[in-house]
Amino acid sequence: MDKELKTIALEGAERALPRILGLLEQLCALDSCSGHEQGNRQVIELLRPVLEELGAQVEEVYEPGLGTHLAARVQPQGKPAGKLLLMAHLDTVFPVGSAAQHPFHIDGDWAWGLGVGDCKSGVLISLFGALILKEAGLLPPWELTYLFNCDEEIGSGSGQKLFAREAETADCALVFEGGREQDGHSAFVTARRGVILGDIHVTGKEAHAGNAYLEGYSAVHELAQQIVRLYSFNDMEKKIYYNVAPISGGRPNGVVAGEAHGQFCVAGMPTNADFGLVEENLRSMPEQVTVEGCTVDVTWHTLFPAMERTEDSGRLYGCVAAAAEQLGLSPVEISDPCATDAAWISSFGVPAVDALSAMEVGIHTMEEHVSISSIRQRTALAALTIHTVCRDFKK
């Protein structure tokens, strides 16, 4: 059966490739940055025919000012034997107008377009992988639930509520962010690092920088001290890094600055326990004021938690690796420093494996492109992985 399924997956991916590329061209022609509701709606309408072919029951979850998340369920006949989440996101990082300035095009084995790798190819690969099984009459006796959110690029503040709801009844999750390679091996992600974003606001007192200089309290001077303090928290051993940008403050240079502001990022927390240590550092900052008379306010929020490897996610990786080996790939399991929605779903107790999409280059840049041969390969892999997970994960 595995040999027959491999042939079905490979031949199905070959047939699907022209349609996938056609849809990628249409998707990449749309501006769909986070919060652009019109573009988000256009993306959903392009996906709707594929969802209908799958027989998916589509639920739209609207978030005013942001867009619409999709939860699309493909149900088996009878009671499902399990529930598999298939996840990707609909939003990109590129502002309105960018798509027209950087149109989709193909050059050799590369398809170029904004968002083509992150995460539009992942959306399509996840859908066509299941469609290959459906056309062959091989959809598993599990519920396949697609979660396509429209706010991943800004931390999934709204999408995570949908994830939390679906996590209550999910067995595991496959996340279709861009593919990875390591030393020539196909690499799949079972751990990611967490990220915090925050702001430092300093209030001082304005004064003339000449005849009343000593009456002022420079907020810019204090912000400089706080920035140095923040960088001192860098943990090179754990690879937890603090970074400040952008900064602003004061009015004309002839006036002692009465206010100053900086934004910061803390990236690289390997476990969720590390968030407590970072937050302890941040809480200490307002208590350490250098410029007498200034006050410091530090606020922050979690952009993404850490995705921690578990025994169950290791077992899920085993299913992914078995499917990859059927295609002649040499898989490896890795930890990746970048954050994705795999972190959110795993934080809700669902074992997850990430990086199941095509191989991408230039993510988040105007030079973003994706390997066409890897789209074909990963579409076949999606079909094999869905089948293998639903057959073996709960054994």
Q: State pLDDT tens for residues 361-391.
A: 999 999 999 999 999 999 999 999 999 999 9
Tokens 């494996």 found at: 353
Domain 196-304 coded CATH 3.30.70.360: yes
- Joined together, the tokens standing for residue 329 give 């790939």
Nearest to 179 by CA among 359, 369, 323, 352: 359
SS3 of 60, please? strand
pLDDT at 3 over 80: no
Using DSSP's 3-state secondary structure scheme, residue 185 falls into strand
Residues 309, 340, 134, 323, CA torsion sign = negative
pLDDT computed for residue 1 by the predictor: 60
136-167 pLDDT, tens digit each:
999 999 999 999 999 999 999 999 999 999 99
Query: Is the preceding omega at residue 246 within 30 degrees of 0, hence cis?
Result: yes
The pLDDT tens digits of the residues spanning 288-334 come to 999 999 999 999 999 999 999 999 999 999 999 999 999 999 999 99
**C-alpha span between 28 and 125 (Å, rounded):** 15
pLDDT at 23 over 70: yes
Is the pLDDT confidence value at 336 over 70?
yes
CA-based radius of gyration for the chain: 24
Do residues 102 and 369 lie in contact, with contact meaning Cβ atoms separated by under 8 Å? no
The CATH superfamily assigned to 2-192+307-392 is: Zn peptidases (3.40.630.10)
SS3 category, 241: strand
pTM of the predicted model, to two decimals? Answer: 0.94
Q: Looking at residue 2, what is its pLDDT?
A: 73
